[in-house]
Amino acid sequence: MHIAEGVLTTPVLISGAFIAFAGTVVGLSKTKIEDIPKTAVFASAFFVASLVHIPLGVGSVHLMLNGLLGILLGWAAVPAILTALFLQAILFQFGGLTALGVNTVVMATPAVICYYLFRKLVLVSKNRASYISIVSAFLCGAFAILLSALILAFCLMLSGDEFKAVAGIAIIVHIPIMVVEGIVTCVCISFVKKVKPEILYIFDKQKESKI
């Protein structure tokens, strides 16, 4: 899902860079010092997962875990994803520096949206993976990929009519990834709940300590 250099028009690139910058500022302002190690760990997970990709024209198909990052990190997912994409661009030439902002928007925006839509449902049970939690985790992972594919397609269509066919294909080919991502998110959430549940509830504990 990385958009390569020289594909998008300048207005799209500038808009993407501006949105990514604004999201990063908000993300950093909401990230506490004690959250940095956790953010770094999941940024690394995103970095590794999205390295294994299948090229598709101007983009690529791969796991992202952005729904999972959204649940675990909230707004901090934006700077985490930006950092991982930056390292991928300079180390492996995935995407590109000029498209870094747009690629961040494509992958980080769904993370933040899923944070607001699914976090409370995913964390409905602290001690066990309830039915609601499992279904919500699956929907979170799948919906994040769908949103990313839609944003990717929208950016491509804004850059020229010649990309309309590619935009449609990009959405279709990500349907299997939606299913896989949903399953992976379910497994990861269930595992974290059993092994390290405080990672999921750290934000709730911080809110309680302020009351």
pLDDT-derived band at 192 (thresholds 50, 70, 90) equals confident
Q: Is it the case that residue 211 has pLDDT exceeding 70?
A: no
Q: Average of pLDDT values for 168-172?
A: 84
**Boundaries of every domain in the chain:** 10-210
The CATH number of 10-210 is 1.10.1760.20
Predicted confidence at residue 53, as pLDDT, reads 67
User: Using H for helix, E for strand and C for coil, what is the string for the chain?
Assistant: CCCCCCCCCHHHHHHHHHHHHHHHHHHHHCCCHHHHHHHHHHHHHHHHHCCCEEEECCEEEECCCHHHHHHHHHHHHHHHHHHHHHHHHHHHCCCCCCCHHHHHHHHHHHHHHHHHHHHHHHCCCCCCCCHHHHHHHHHHHHHHHHHHHHHHHHHHHHCCHHHHHHHHHHHHHCHHHHHHHHHHHHHHHHHHHHHCCHHHHHHHHHHHHHC
Residue 54 near residue 106, CB atoms below 8 Å: no
Residues 12-67 have pLDDT tens digits of: 999 999 999 999 999 999 988 888 888 999 899 899 888 776 665 545 567 889 99
- What's the pTM? 0.85
Residues 70-95 have pLDDT tens digits of: 999 999 999 999 999 999 999 988 87
Residues 137-152 have pLDDT tens digits of: 999 999 999 999 999 9
